């Protein structure tokens, strides 16, 4: 089955530092990946769409200079939280759209998430 990994699974950092989160599709290519944020006991909120080889598309209200996205290859997207503050503490989840299923349901597979705690 399609597997998406995220690294790290958990990170604690000091306020003002930057944190990079990796999202990899392990057994399929993903031209498009998505980054979500999930607050406790709430649903997933889409932050941005990451496209291989081009700039990410951010949802309204998401600061693109704060959440830097790089989709350097068909299997890797990274999210960098720059100058993190305590309010950035959250659960960040990525998903990858399986290129093989384009036009046949466009299924996304989700990573296990990264819990970020900013002190």
Partner 1 sequence: AQSVSQHNHHVILSEAASLELGCNYSYGGTVNLFWYVQYPGQHLQLLLKYFSGDPLVKGIKGFEAEFIKSKFSFNLRKPSVQWSDTAEYFCAVNANTGGFKTIFGAGTRLFVKA
Stretch that binds partner 1, among 12-20, 67-75, 78-86, 99-107 (CB under 8 A): 99-107
Among 13, 80, 89, 110, binds partner 1 (CB under 8 A): 110
Q: Which of 19, 25, 30, 32 binds partner 1 (CB under 8 A)?
A: 32
Instruction: Examine residue 57 and tell whether it contacts partner 1 (CB under 8 A).
Output: yes
Q: Which is nearer to partner 1, 46 or 119 (CB)?
A: 46
Helix/strand/coil for 11: strand
Cβ-contact 103, 15 below 8 angstroms: no
Residues of this chain that bind partner 1 (CB under 8 A): 32, 34, 41-44, 46, 49, 57, 93, 95, 97, 103-113
């Amino acid at each position: 089955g399609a597997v998406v990994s995220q690294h790290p699974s958990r990170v604690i950092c000091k306020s003002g530092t930057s944190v990079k989160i990796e999202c990899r599709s392990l057994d399929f290519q993903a031209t498009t990946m998505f980054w979500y944020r999930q607050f406790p006991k709430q649903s997933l909120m889409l932050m941005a769409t990451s496209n291989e080889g081009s700039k990410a598309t951010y949802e309204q209200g998401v600061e693109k200079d704060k959440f830097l996205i790089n989709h350097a290859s068909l299997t890797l997207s990274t999210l960098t939280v720059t100058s993190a503050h305590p309010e950035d503490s959250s659960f960040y989840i990525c998903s990858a759209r399986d290129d093989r299923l384009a036009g046949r349901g466009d299924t996304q597979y989700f990573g296990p998430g990264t819990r970020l705690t900013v002190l």
